[in-house]
Copies of this chain bind each other. A is one copy, B any other.
Amino acid sequence: MPSDTAPRSGRRGAGRDAKRAARLAHAIDSVPFITRQLAPFEVLSEEGLALIEHNADTVLEEIGIDFKGDPEALDLWRAAGADVQGERVRFPRGLCRGLIQQHAPREYIQHARNPARSVTIGGRNTVFAPNYGSPFVRDLDGGRRYGTVEDFRNFVKLTYASPWLHHSGGTICEPVDLPVNKRHYDMLYAHMRWSDKPFMGSVTAPERAQDSVNMAQLLFGDNWIDPASGRPRTVMTSLINANSPLTWDATMLGALKVYARANQANLTTPFILAGAMSPVTVAGTCTVTLAEALSGMAFAQLVNPGAPVILGSFASSISMQSGAPTFGTPEPSLVLYAMAALARRLGVPFRSGGALCASKVADAQAAYESANTMNATLMGGVNFVLHAAGWLEGGLAIGYEKFVMDCDQAGMWHAFMNGVDLTASGQAMDAIREVGPGSHFLGCAHTQANFETAFFRSNLADNNSVEQWEAEGAQDMPVRANAIWKRALREYEPPPIDPAIDEALLDYMARGRAAVPDSDI
């Protein structure tokens, strides 16, 4: 965000600020997403991964998955060769995997209305999107309260302004002040109007998914259809959660079908609190997750072969005393690593992780848990990272200060994933020869030539002496973050939009709102 480029105190020269801002602005333009130079970390051998695949196939074959309230889904499965009893679908071994590997793209481009913001999802790429789905918001000034559409717009703007978030996300927070059956209009419009980054569609009802597709078609206009394929370009990636264990419900199936038919991407995610929706083990949780995700992604291929899908895994362990979800703990990280490897073997993009935590506030607990989860996210090779910024309280709240803190961390991952520079300049043998024993490198030619870009610079972290830190008010990280998001909102400038498109969107929404009464479901 622009304020990421600004110093906290006014002491530094304006010239340096401008130079720094220019450098970061360049970084924004040049990095629409991370392309990792490092191989992912593996926690299971080939044999271990094959065992979980075998077990998932056993679950699909012997136990099956419930496809609820969607007779069309049952017909499609029957026609594909599955065994359908009531709403229970059992799959011959390899059926789901085969459908996915035959049709689903290994990676896909999600187009943004600003082509420079388009993201490639899958392969060696990582895309960061903000928090999703929180009914509450928290900031240092107002504490915790229900989210509003103003909060929603604020977070769209903050996401747009951050150089380290690549994707505008979806339901960043719930705009609880708007009727449930109409708030998707305002959320979609905010993503489309106040950002030019790629975004997610509504999934809370099939007709809202259709509104998402219709508005996206208005937004992209002549660019909606790819002339090469004759199909719509993929411009949305939307979140289809399983009703774990082993169940897809009618709402999610309905939204999935709308998106798949329009060639939009479905992020099919088993949402699992291990111990409740899956066994209390890592391998068992992976088995349930894989079985569910396979069935969802394969179903998308039945609806429209070739429609993009992501294998999603949201896994937390629960406290076996209270039932509360826990984050940043060892077992969810192990699940993430294993699932990432399973997605690579299957050959589809993978979604998991984020800056997850159980803490209610942006304290040390929040940071330990978020950092642990983000380390697994990046080291494991996640392609699409929902909840990369803002998450608090098991997802019940999004925090403004937490958002700023997580963005800073997201920036660091850009530097880490570039790996080690082994060019002659990276080796720096000239510098070592120039300085020799017992001196220092601060003034040597190589340092002078490289210090501007040598190390990742956070302007949220305070690395000063304790004396200087105290002189500046002994501010902890959330206090510093508070100033940063406020400044980012003050300095926000919207991206340009064609007025005719804007009018068409506003008109579409006005007609949609007028067509039905407000409703809270």
The residues of A with any CB-CB pair to B shorter than 8 Å are 12, 38-39, 41-44, 48, 51, 55, 58-59, 62-66, 88, 144, 243, 245-247, 274-284, 287-288, 317-326, 328-331, 333-334, 338, 358-372, 375, 379, 393-394, 396-397, 405, 409, 412-413, 415-416, 419-422, 425-429, 431-433, 435-442, 444, 446-447, 450-452, 454-458, 460-466, 469, 474, 476-478
Complexed CA–CA distance, A423 and B341 (Å) = 19
A409 to B330, CA, bound (A): 10
State the CA gap A353–B454 with chains docked (Å): 21
Chain B residues closer than 8 Å to A359, beta-carbon distance: 461-462, 477
A364/B478 in contact, CB under 8 A: yes
Whether B461 lies near A365 (C-beta < 8 A) is yes
Q: How far is the CA of A144 from the CA of B439 in the complex (A)?
A: 33
Contacts A367-B371, A428-B281; A42 near B39 (Cβ below 8 A): yes
Is the Cβ of A437 less than 8 Å from the Cβ of B247?
A: yes
**Additional A-B contact list (17), CB under 8 Å, known A66-B437, A279-B444:** A63-B436, A63-B437, A245-B436, A276-B441, A279-B441, A279-B446, A282-B426, A283-B421, A284-B431, A284-B432, A317-B455, A319-B455, A320-B452, A360-B462, A360-B474, A368-B405, A372-B412
A450 touches which of B281, B362, B394 (Cβ 8 Å): B281
Q: Copy number in this complex?
A: 2
Shortest distance between the CB of A377 and any CB in chain B (Å):
11
Jot down 30 A-B pairs with beta carbons below 8 A, ordered by A: A44-B422, A63-B437, A66-B438, A274-B455, A275-B455, A278-B432, A279-B441, A284-B426, A284-B431, A287-B432, A322-B463, A322-B464, A323-B442, A324-B463, A324-B465, A329-B412, A333-B416, A338-B420, A362-B364, A363-B364, A363-B477, A364-B367, A364-B478, A365-B462, A365-B477, A367-B367, A368-B370, A368-B371, A368-B405, A394-B463
Cross-interface CB contact of A364 among B333, B366, B457, cutoff 8 Å: B366
A469: which B residues are within 8 A, CB to CB? 360
Given contacts A280-B447, A409-B368, A438 and B245 within 8 Å (CB-CB): yes
Q: Is the CB of A455 within 8 A of B63?
A: no
Are A455 and B329 in contact, with the CB atoms below 8 A?
yes
Assess the A247–B438 pair: CB atoms within 8 A. Answer: yes
Q: Would A280 and B454 be within 8 Å (CB), given that A245-B438, A405-B368 are in contact?
A: yes
* Residue on B nearest A438 in the bound complex, by CB: B247
Provide the bound-state CA to CA distance between A243 and B439, in Å. 10
Knowing A246-B436, A420-B338 touch, does A427 contact B51 (C-beta < 8 A)? yes
Assess the A422–B371 pair: CB atoms within 8 A.
Answer: no
**B427 x A287 contact (CB < 8 A):** yes
Task: State the Cβ distance, A251 to closest chain B Cβ, in Å.
Answer: 15
Query: Bound state CA distance, A447 and B320, in angstroms?
Result: 9
Contact B369 A372 (CB under 8 A): no
Cβ of A369 to closest chain B Cβ, rounded Å? 7
Name the B residues within 8 Å of A245 (CB-CB): 432, 435-441
Residues of B within 8 A of A457 (CB): 319
- Asked if B463 contacts A326 (CB within 8 A), the reply is yes
A318 nearest CB across to chain B (Å): 8
Q: Which of B367, B415, B416, B432 contacts A59 (CB 8 A)?
A: B432
Q: Of B48, B363, B477, which contacts A420 at CB under 8 A?
A: B48
A437 and B246 contact, CB distance less than 8 A = yes
A319 to chain B, nearest CB (A): 5
Of all chain B residues, which has the CB nearest A370? B368
Decide if A433 touches B63 in the complex (CB within 8 Å). yes
**A55 near B427 (CB under 8 angstroms)?**
yes
- Tell me whether A416 and B358 are in contact in the complex, defined as CB-CB below 8 angstroms, given that A247-B437, A329-B456 are known contacts: no
Chain B residues with CB below 8 A from A420, complex form: 43-44, 48, 282-283, 334, 338
